[in-house]
Structure 1
Amino acid sequence: MNLIKRFERNTAGRDFAVGDIHGHFTRLQAALDAAGFDSAVDRLFSVGDLVDRGPECRDALDWLAKPWFHPVRGNHDDYVVRFDTCDVDNWIYNGGSWFAGLSLYEQKEFAVQFAELPIAIEVETQEGLVGIVHADCSFLSWDELRAELDTPESKKRLKLVMNTCMWSRSRIENQEPHGVLGIRALIVGHTPMSQPARLGNVIHIDTMGWMPGRGHFTLINLHTLETIPAMPAKLDWEAA
């Protein structure tokens, strides 16, 4: 499979990205409806973490079948891919108990489909290329990440790069001001925040839409880089 997936410019409608979903697809649909999302022409890109924690994890496969929905692989999605070799206790502690309730056939079906999720997505827009990964790009340029995913020098190196894309929080925790060269913006999730925030050209949008009563889903228009709701000027983040 291709670990980085490329999308041409959407000339018919709009392109949005959304933060971590974690089994709350009804709330996500409400956010799309509020933004006037038109599934006939618009596309929705996801920073991943489709499952765990929420009550509608089984609906993830239905969403993957939608031709306008395109997620990258998050660390929770990767648990599904590695369900027979991962740290099951840690997974269950972090919301993975729903998976244990599936039949083995269902578990394998989830694993097969989630294994097809790319680690990175790049989307052409009128204003330039936008990248999407779950957690972060640890390289100075998008070209470096693309090369690492397209032509890895070894399996060990590839695993390290993939894990960084799915797990790293160093940029936001250290408030690193530099961005990623070679793209207009990089959209990420993974680190729960009360509001979206920008560091350089890296925009963090996991505003805890999966925590009813506390968080909300943030949508970002990949053409204008405007967020719904609007992004505050001040960096405001909350580690979890």
Structure 2
Amino acid sequence: MIQRHGPNERGRDFIVGDIHGQWGLLHDRLNAVGFDRQRDRLFSVGDLIDRGADSLQCLSLALEPWFYAVRGNHEMLAYDALLGEERGSLKARDAWMINGGTWALEAGLAEAQTMLQQALPYMPYAREIAVAGKRLGIVHAEPPADWRDIVTPSQDQLWGRTRIRRGDETSVSGIDAVVVGHTIVERPLWLGNVHYIDTGAFATGRLTLIEARTLMSSVGS
């Protein structure tokens, strides 16, 4: 459900917004910051796939030793269509295709299914990182009001938008800050101690990549 990470003593930690199959854009951003795959770590808010032609390659990132993603709603749409109880049903397949899963028709459904099976065990619902003496949480869509409740599975963690629709600036208790994606924002946005970083890479060409220490330096200041 949640995986916790100690501080990176060798390099830097970065967090990236929803990638959605934008392989080239991701690597442009990593090259721009001199990302070192031997020392640095990259954390993702999920939605590696759909709406982009390079979704299969992006999903394979979950197998890289320097890459740490949480699962998003698009990984779960693919799961329902390819691996879940409704696998093979028109309802599950159509829901995925309508939401950007058509890349799998070109890549091959069998290959997409195999990669998804390999990737999902490396994509928990939430992660927590120790950064500069503080605790940073990551979940795809919406955290619970109390971070201690993150161990209980919730559809809000994958699909929720209540906080951002209300403009709710109440901080999540039990954690210093939380980073989420899912809802496209024009620029990264703070609501309380929750930071939204999905800037719509598949539509805008803007993929947010932020260093964790830079993010946390503004928390509690």
Structure 1 and Structure 2 fold alike (TM over 0.5): yes
Match of 1:134 among 140, 147, 150: 140
The residue identity in structure 1 corresponding to 2:199 is: T
Asked if residue 34 in structure 1 is aligned to residue 32 in structure 2, the reply is yes
- Equivalent residue number for residue 92 of structure 1: 97
- Equivalent residue number for residue 178 of structure 1: 170
Give a deviation string over 1:94-120, Cα, whole Å, max 9, x none: 211122344453233133124311000
Higher deviation after alignment, 53-62 or 23-32: 53-62
Give a deviation string over 1:155-193, Cα, whole Å, max 9, x none: xxx4xx1x2101001111110010211111100000011
Separation (CA, whole Å) in 1 of partners of 2:36 and 2:108? 35
Separation (CA, whole Å) in 2 of partners of 1:186 and 1:95? 27
1:157-196 matches, cutoff 5 A: 158=153, 161=154, 163-196=155-188
Secondary structure at the aligned position of 1:224 is classed as helix
Give the Å deviation of 1:144. 1.7
Separation (CA, whole Å) in 1 of partners of 2:171 and 2:58? 31
- Equivalent residue number for residue 76 of structure 1: 74
| Identical amino acids, percent of aligned pairs | 40
Contact preservation (8 Å) 1:187, 1:204: yes
Secondary structure at the aligned position of 2:81 is classed as coil
Separation (CA, whole Å) in 2 of partners of 1:39 and 1:201? 29
Secondary structure at the aligned position of 1:45 is classed as strand
- Equivalent residue number for residue 126 of structure 2: 120
1:52-71 matches, cutoff 5 A: 52-71=50-69
- Equivalent residue number for residue 43 of structure 1: 41
Q: Please, which runs of 5 or more residues in structure 1 have no aligned partner?
A: 149-157, 228-240
Q: Please, which runs of 5 or more residues in structure 2 have no aligned partner?
A: none
Secondary structure at the aligned position of 1:82 is classed as helix
1:216-235 matches, cutoff 5 A: 216-225=206-215
Change (3 A) 1:23 1:41: same
TM-score by length of 2: 0.88
TM-score by length of 1: 0.81
The residue identity in structure 1 corresponding to 2:186 is: S
Separation (CA, whole Å) in 2 of partners of 1:61 and 1:189? 17
Separation (CA, whole Å) in 2 of partners of 1:108 and 1:136? 27
Secondary structure at the aligned position of 1:79 is classed as helix
